[in-house]
Structure 1
C-alpha cells in the first residue's frame, strides 16, 4: 500500500484531502506541529473509515520534517502523493518597505527549505513505485506579489519556481508536480473554495496530471 502525506494538516483542507484520498484507498499521513490536533484529526478520520496516522513535525526544521516523512513511509507505505500546504504565519506578511533581510528567514525556511526537504525525502520512494504526485498549495501571492505581504510574495515565488523546475524534470519519470493557488481564504460553503471542493480539485490534479499551475478561483475574488 502507498500513502498520501499531507504536510500542514489541519481540520479544514487537510482533513478534506484525507477524506478524499482515503475514499480512493490511500492511507493518510498527517504532518503538523501540534500532536494534540493530530490525534483529534486521526480519531475523527478513523470514525469515517479512513486509515490515518499523525506525525508531529515543524516545517521550519528540515531534518525533523524529513524524519517525520520517513516515519510516515515506514508506518503506511511509500509516499505516493505529497501535499505541501502549511498555513503561513501572519508575521510573514509585512509591508515590503518594513521587511528587512532577517524578516525573510522564516518565510524562506517555511516555503523553500521545507518543500525541498520534503521532496528529497519522498522522491526515492516515488521512484521505487514508478509513479508519484507532489502538490504545492499556495495563496495568491504565489502568482501576483502583494506589497503588503512581502514575505509570502518572495518565498512563494521561490517555492513556485522550485515546483515548476521539478514539474519539468520529473515528468519523464512518471512523477507529476503541480501547484494549486487559492486566492483569499478557504471558505466553507463557497462554490470553489470550500475544503471539500478544494480536495476534489487536488484529487483531480493528481488523477489528470495536466500542467503545473492551477487556480481554485479568480485572482481578484
Structure 2
C-alpha cells in the first residue's frame, strides 16, 4: 500500500444527480472521486463523466444491502490509495407503501440500505482515515416530516441522522468528524434545491473548523 498525495472521496450510493454533483464539487478541490452504484457499469459511467471533464475518478459496483460487499469495496479503495479522506453516504430506499401495507422484512431491508450500510462502510474506512477525515451523510426533511405513503424513507432518514450523532462523538477524539446535511426540500433540476447548490452546502459543511463543528446542518435552499 502506498500513500497517495491526492485526497480521496468515496461516494456510497452515487447517481447522476446529487452523488455526481458532490463528487464533482470535491474533484474541483483536488480530490480523487470514487463513485459506487449498484453495478460496475453504472459506476464506471459516472466516473467517465468526471474523467471527461478533466477530473480523477473511479467507479465500482457495490451491494449496499450486503455488509461483506460494502466492506470489500471500501477496504479495496483504502488499500489502493492508502487513504480515505471523506466518506459520503448517500443512499436511500424508496418504497411506496404506507404503514398498513409495509411489512417488517421490507422495513428492515430498506433500513439496512438507507442507514445500516453506514456501519460496515465506516468500519472498513476507519484504518484509512487520518486526523481531519470526514463522514458526510445526505439527510432529508423526511426525518421530521415523513410522507405516510412511503413510510420507510422517514425511518431511514431519522435513523441515519441519529447514527451520525454517535459516529461523530465516537470519532471526535481522533480528529475525525461526521455530519448529516439535512435537505429540507425536494431535489430539483433548477432552483435552490438543484444538486450543484446542495453539493456546495455539503462542501461547506465538511470544511468547517473544529470550533464551528456540529454533527447536523440544515440546508433550507
Q: TM-score, normalised by structure 2?
A: 0.89
Corresponding residue of 1:134: 135
Structure 2 residue 17 is the aligned partner of structure 1 residue 12: yes
Kept after mapping to 2: 8 A contact 1:65/1:118 = yes
Structure 2 residue 95 is the aligned partner of structure 1 residue 95: no
CA distance in 2, matches of 1:112, 1:77: 26
- How far has the Cα of 1:111 moved from its partner? 2.3
- How far has the Cα of 1:132 moved from its partner? 0.7
Corresponding residue of 1:204: 204
How many equivalent pairs are there? 213
Counterparts in 2 of 1:32-181, with a 5 A limit? 32-88=37-93, 90-91=94-95, 93-126=96-129, 129-181=130-182
For the residue of structure 2 that corresponds to 1:122, the secondary structure is helix
Kept after mapping to 1: 8 A contact 2:10/2:34 = yes
For the residue of structure 2 that corresponds to 1:96, the secondary structure is coil
Unaligned runs of 5+ in 2: none
- How far has the Cα of 1:20 moved from its partner? 1.1
Q: CA RMSD in A?
A: 1.7
Kept after mapping to 2: 8 A contact 1:3/1:77 = no
Kept after mapping to 2: 8 A contact 1:4/1:82 = yes
Q: 2:30 aligns with which of 25, 29, 37?
A: 25
For the residue of structure 1 that corresponds to 2:63, the secondary structure is coil
Q: TM-score, normalised by structure 1?
A: 0.89
- How far has the Cα of 1:98 moved from its partner? 2.2
